[in-house]
Structure 1
Amino acid sequence: MSGMTASVRLQAPPHLNVEVAASTIRLRQVLPDEYGTGAPGEWLRKAAIGVSDGLYVTGQVIAYNGSQATLRTLRGEFHCRTADLVEVSPVLCFLTGKQQLRTADMTVEELVEQNTGILDRLLGTTQRGSRSIPRVLAGYMPARQQPQPTDTIEWINALSGVETTVGVRHAVDYVHFTDGNRRLTASVRDTIGDRFDADPRFAGDQTESPTNDDVTDQADLEELLASIGGKVAHTLTPLTPRPAPPASTNASGAQDNHAKILAAVADDP
């Protein structure tokens, strides 16, 4: 924010930076007391443990409205109370995402202690680290609940909002070598890539495919922003390559997208 204007990045496509009136931003800012009582977005895109139908679930928060959250896990999506959420390391979404543990059988504190032991085996904090999934999880959960190396999750980058396919094998290897401070040879680097959410096996995949709702005409966008006193700033390059969007032949799609953009910068909470 600088003077009378502020630069804001649109989380929804077309992922542009826009400059809007500073007064608009002030109307939408989250106050300190709001944050402490569950401000919008406090849990969004974080890795967490939740409770659904008496079972612990571990995944990424993909939707959040203050009192309820939706977690995406290896077993699907689950609705949980935000009051029950406990933040965890993202790699645990891949290692324990299939675990079916009843809350009646283990307290949250005991589950956190179990997860600490799993991470210790993976990273080698107090013992020799291992990237073998069965070895890391042995004694913590039955084999039938352990993930397969080929299992995947559609993971959302916490900063960009871009969704990518990430496999269990990649997530485990990346954390084992990178967070475990192990020597990275060229071959290992080629295998694990440069980011946790950039699995080289799916480098060509585009999971956040453009739709008619995502396609907007630049002239219409500028006209929309002008109507609210804003203008387009420089375009941010997504963290993963995005294919050129198909030409839209649906007029209502453009209107829907305008509504999304307007909602991103409007002064409604």
Structure 2
Amino acid sequence: MPVETAIVGDERGDFLYRSANNLRNVHGSQKCHDDAVALVFAKERNSTPGVGEIRFHVALSDGVSVVGPTYKAGSVRARDDVTWLTAKREGQTEVLDGESILNEIYGEMNNRIEFPEYYIRVTKRRKHAIGAEKVKLITSLSFHLVRGGDEEYLYVDGAGIKTGDCFQFYYADPAAALASCNDVTANLRSLNLGCNSKSSYQAAGATSNAGKSEVFGGLLFVCCGRRRFFSGRSNVDISPFVENFPGAPLAGIYCGGEIGRCSMRPEEQGSQGESSTRCCCHVYSTVYLVMSYTPAPPGATTLRG
């Protein structure tokens, strides 16, 4: 998939709806329904002369920090969308049950955060084929909420974990979220150097900005759990966008699992570059989608029918 392909969204959400049939909704009550909603923006393979280009830039503010060693899954069972597993420390032979693993993590944490919420991030190498392509190994990362552990197993949400998969523990971390917001502000500032916000573009006039990119809007997908991170502080998650593109329209939603495939190019992210291993589904994060438009070069002509 091309680097510039942007994927954003909400992994789990409840959408309100009302039935058009009064017999089924006599009292006008609101109901929730689990569903999937997607917006797909496709770029023409062959651009039309005289037509400018819309680009999508995705940035991510993390809200978790790693703790403890790397483990390798041993015995794995799945039941009712919950995975039961044992594990070994990477490079060791002793098989650890859930209680032993969690005691190690509690010791590493040393009460640095009261009542932390834990996840494991699992590295999965699986064979996949897309379309007519040959089957190949693809590495992906996924988060699983830790439910607990006992003298037999560690229990985590979700399925898809296999024996031999490596994983590390992560915990929700307000300090990491705030620092990451500052990083996003800096990343978007580098994008802002070559763009106008919508309001400044309109104020300056199209003539003086011919050929220069314009940021015309943005979307935010914010983990609902981050609201308690910044209690007493307002507008923390929106500040990276608002500070860089004042006046440009911005909308967003709170999510139960944020989807974000970062598409900002290496030159826009400094030394971060592109990684062959991606994590598209995140926890305790904010995903920023920034949309920009670059006019066609002066003198370009539009094809007419």
More helix by share: 1
TM-score by length of 2: 0.25
More strand by share: 2
Higher relative contact order (CA 8 A, sep 6+): 2
